């Protein structure tokens, strides 16, 4: 998307990994960089002031200024400072699907901070239309893709703060049942791809246990 810079809109950009700090920087258009996730803040001459639209964006061009929407600021995992966003997990999933024989209906990702054994990890809860013939390979592709995209996540894996991600397979109707319990069943509602807590993950696991 091309930003309109002469239409009475003032843009500010907060680096997404600093958004929850006490006094995060608010960068002007002349201070942004390519490939960084920013929270977009808008002010207009019509009276809108410092409005957070809720999306994170990345610049794909600085001459002219073009952006893509990379996710939602509320939808992230950073339990250990990894700053994983929706765009990264969606890309990793697409790469794993392309390189294997799997087909996926829905998925979401949550941190597992206190596992029963071993290091913490990211749990990927997946409803497969067709499960991969080699789940270990599928997991490895996902994890490597995420490391390639996100240096913070890679450092935590290499530094043995986190272990590699784990996949939990769910029944094919698990996400449908979950959305139904939230009153959000229908084409206009999307499953949240990731969260920094386990509310969605634990709800899905309860559905799994009762199927």
The beta strand positions in 18-162, using DSSP E, are: 38-44, 51-62, 65-72, 76-77, 84-85, 103-112, 121-130
pLDDT of residue 83: 84
Q: What is the pLDDT along the chain (211 residues), one digit of tens a residue?
A: 898 888 899 999 998 878 878 889 999 999 999 988 899 999 998 888 999 988 889 999 999 999 998 878 777 898 898 889 888 999 999 999 999 989 999 999 999 999 999 999 999 999 999 999 999 999 999 999 999 999 999 999 999 999 999 999 999 999 999 999 988 877 777 888 999 899 999 999 999 887 6
Domains detected in the chain: 9-72 (no CATH), 76-209 (3.30.300)
Q: How far apart are the C-alpha atoms of 182 and 100, rounded to whole Å? A: 33
3-state SS track over 7-31: CCEEEEEEEHHHCCCCCCCCECHHH
pLDDT of residue 171: 95
pLDDT of residue 135: 95
Q: How far apart are the C-alpha atoms of 154 and 82, rounded to whole Å? A: 8
Q: How far apart are the C-alpha atoms of 170 and 125, rounded to whole Å? A: 7
CA proximity to 100, closest of 55, 155, 147, 167:
167
pLDDT of residue 58: 92
Q: Which residues contact 94 (CB under 8 A, 6 or more apart)?
A: none
């Amino acid at each position: 998307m091309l930003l309109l810079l002469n239409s009475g809109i003032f843009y500010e950009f907060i680096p997404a990994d600093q958004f929850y700090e006490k006094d995060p920087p608010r960068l002007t258009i002349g201070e942004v960089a390519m490939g960084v996730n920013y929270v977009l803040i808008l002010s207009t001459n019509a009276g809108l002031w410092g409005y957070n639209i809720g999306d994170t964006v990345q610049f794909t061009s600085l001459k002219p200024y073009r952006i893509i929407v990379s996710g939602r600021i509320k939808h992230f995992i950073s339990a250990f400072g990894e700053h994983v966003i929706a765009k990264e997990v969606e890309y990793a999933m697409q790469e794993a699907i392309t390189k294997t024989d799997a087909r996926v209906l829905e998925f979401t990702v949550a941190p597992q901070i206190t596992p029963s054994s071993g290091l913490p990890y990211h749990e990927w809860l997946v409803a497969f239309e067709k499960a991969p013939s080699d789940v270990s390979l599928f997991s490895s592709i996902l994890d490597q893709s995420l490391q390639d995209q996100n240096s913070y996540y890679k450092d935590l894996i290499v530094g043995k703060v986190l272990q590699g991600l784990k996949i939990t397979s769910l029944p094919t109707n698990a996400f449908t049942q979950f959305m139904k319990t939230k009153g959000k069943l229908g084409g206009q509602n999307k499953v949240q791809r990731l969260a920094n807590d386990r509310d969605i993950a634990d709800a899905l696991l309860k559905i799994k246990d009762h199927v």
